[in-house]
Amino acid sequence: MVNICVIGAGYVGLTTAAVLAELGHEVCCIDKDQNKITELNNGKIPIYEPGLSEFIAKNTNRLSFNTNLEEGVKKASIIFICVGTPSLADGKTNLSYVDAVINEIAPCIHSYKTIITKSTVPIGTNEQIYEKLLAKKISPELFNIVSNPEFLREGSAIYDMLHPDKIVVGLRQDDTQSLPIIQEMYSRIQAPYIVTSLNGAEMIKYASNAFLATKISFINEIARICEAFHIDVNDVSKGIGLDPRIGPHFLQAGLGYGGSCFPKDVKSLEQIALSKQIHPLILQAVQTVNDTQIDVYIHKLKTLFPDLHTKKIAVLGIAFKPNTDDTRDSPAERLISRLSQLTCDVCAYDPKAKLSHDQHHVRQVNSLDEAIKGADCVVIATDWDEFKQLDWTEIKKQMNGTIIVDGRNCLNRKEIEQCGLRYVGVGRG
């Protein structure tokens, strides 16, 4: 058992803190936001993540929440940095939260600390953190910096942290102390270790997200070509995915990728490359396909409805993917904005997520029935399970029109057509 301080109570920080407590460690999770900490201490979890609240409740004897960073850091031998690293307007990464944490923890380092960065940071950042602490006259005997990126998917973050496919540990060249500390801390987690340099670990995280985003943009481009030849892209995904060199995952065509990681990380890696005068052709193409994917659906809708601006469109799904209430960079919200600009009457429904801002002609309703009632067209924008199991005969009765646009290619086309509705996917023949 070790004493751990987790700085940042967002998705990554809360999941990390809850899982480390579950593994038997004494964990204090720190956040500047007093309201959030008060709520957490009252058992209220600020985000929707399946299993997280149960996990936190189960481990309250070992897990505490506080705003007092100094106290948390002094007590702990391991410090996790889990603060946000959002995009700046130019696509580079805003490191101000990480910098602020380093400035705050520096004066509290009086005994040996292993400082672990989980936040996704540009290549070279952990080396800079090390230098920064040395410049603040912290003895190199008193600390080490480790890069230990996370690969958690929202919606299955707890499972992913307990069952990772690998544990990536980036170390400074002369650091012989940290690896056994990390291995001891994670001793109850079974996974292969990838031990590399600090820069190497940072790159694994970026390359991993960029590769997954590339798979999505690739299949979305293939879907556009399939569309022209009346081919079902879902058959193509299945067909190519069975080749173990390709693999079946992240080949679901649709409205494109969103969320707090892919868009930001691909942009950031592009900027990292450009900073070294490397022109990242693939990364740029991946983003172009993603940025124009909504256009493909808007074009479809305009073809189906020449008077689109007069139509009532029910958009099912607001979250950037199912099983989360997160709408950051959500393709569903991008679609809603476009429809709002076209002055359509938009009725949006999501089982968990709320629209992030008010928009003209857009209403969010609390039930699926309300959204569908009188709709000329229903668009599936997020592939929640509940949308895959709809009773289409009932839906047809409530709708004004007959068109179902499957923006996630996740519905059973035959079933919908048998109910007398018209199914429209992208790249589905």
Instruction: Return binding residues.
Output: 31, 36, 85, 120, 151-154, 205, 250-254, 258, 264, 321, 328
DSSP string, 210-247: HHHHHHHHHHHHHHHHHHHTT-BHHHHHHHHHTSTTT-
Is-contact 80 66, C-beta < 8 A?
Answer: no
Q: Is 150 in the site for ligand UDX (CB under 6 A)?
A: yes
By C-beta, is 16 or 126 nearer to ligand UDX?
16
Question: Scanning the structure block, which residue is given the tokens 């897990």?
Answer: 63
Q: Is 425 in the site for ligand UDX (CB under 6 A)?
A: no
Q: Is 328 in the site for ligand UDX (CB under 6 A)?
A: no
- Cβ neighbours around 388 below 10 Å, total: 14
Q: Determine the Cα–Cα distance for residues 59 and 56; give it in Å rounded to an integer.
A: 5
Burial of 99 from C-beta contacts in 10 A (0-12 / 13-18 / 19+): middle
By C-beta, is 155 or 401 nearer to ligand UDX?
155
Tell me the backbone φ, ψ of residue 183, rounded to 5 degrees.
-65, -40
Is-contact 84 119, C-beta < 8 A?
Answer: yes
Q: Is 320 in the site for ligand UDX (CB under 6 A)?
A: yes
x-marked contacts with ligand UDX along 37-76 as a string, rule CB under 6 A: ----------------------------------------
Report, in Å, the least distance between residue 65 CB and ligand UDX: 23
Long-range pairs of 88-91 with CB within 8 A, sequence gap ≥ 24: 90/271, 91/267, 91/268, 91/270, 91/271
- Pick from 74, 92, 153, 224: which binds ligand UDX (CB under 6 A)? 153
Tell me the window of 24-32, 49-57, 151-159, 278-286 that interacts with ligand UDX (CB under 6 A): 151-159
Task: Mark the binding-site residues for substrate, compressed into ranges.
Answer: 151-154, 205, 250-254, 258, 321
The residue from 5, 82, 108, 261 that is catalytic is: 261
Is-contact 154 145, C-beta < 8 A?
Answer: no
Contacts (Cβ under 8 Å, ≥6 apart) of 31? 7, 8, 9, 13, 37, 65, 67
Q: Is 148 in the site for ligand UDX (CB under 6 A)?
A: no
Q: What's the distance, CA 289 to chain centroid?
A: 19
Report, in Å, the least distance between residue 264 CB and ligand UDX: 9
Site for ligand UDX in 254-273 (CB under 6 A): 254, 257-259, 261-262
Q: Determine the Cα–Cα distance for residues 383 and 321; give it in Å rounded to an integer.
A: 7
- Pick from 209, 214, 234, 323: which binds ligand UDX (CB under 6 A)? 209
Tell me the window of 92-100, 181-189, 245-253, 392-400 that interacts with ligand UDX (CB under 6 A): 245-253
Q: Give strand ranges (E) for 85-166.
A: 113-117, 143-147
Q: What's the distance, CA 267 to chain centroid?
A: 14
Site for ligand UDX in 7-26 (CB under 6 A): none
Report, in Å, the least distance between residue 290 CB and ligand UDX: 9
Tell me the window of 18-26, 78-86, 247-255, 413-421 that interacts with ligand UDX (CB under 6 A): 247-255
C-alpha dihedral sign at 179, 181, 184, 189: negative
Is-contact 293 220, C-beta < 8 A?
Answer: yes
x-marked contacts with ligand UDX along 162-201 as a string, rule CB under 6 A: ----------------------------------------
- Pick from 198, 204, 216, 381: which binds ligand UDX (CB under 6 A)? 216
- Pick from 48, 97, 151, 305: which binds ligand UDX (CB under 6 A)? 151
By C-beta, is 95 or 251 nearer to ligand UDX?
251
Q: Determine the Cα–Cα distance for residues 317 and 368; give it in Å rounded to an integer.
A: 10
By C-beta, is 259 or 425 nearer to ligand UDX?
259
Report, in Å, the least distance between residue 35 CB and ligand UDX: 25
Q: In what order do the strands lie in the sheet with 113-117?
A: 63-66, 26-30, 3-7, 78-81, 113-117, 143-147, 167-171, 193-197
- Pick from 26, 250, 280, 309: which binds ligand UDX (CB under 6 A)? 250
- Pick from 22, 31, 154, 376: which binds ligand UDX (CB under 6 A)? 154
Q: Which amino acid is at 200?
A: G
By C-beta, is 21 or 380 nearer to ligand UDX?
380
Residue 5 appears among annotated catalytic residues: no
* Residues near ligand UDX (CB under 6 A): 150-154, 209, 212, 216, 250-252, 254, 257-259, 261-262, 320-321
Positions marked active-site: 261
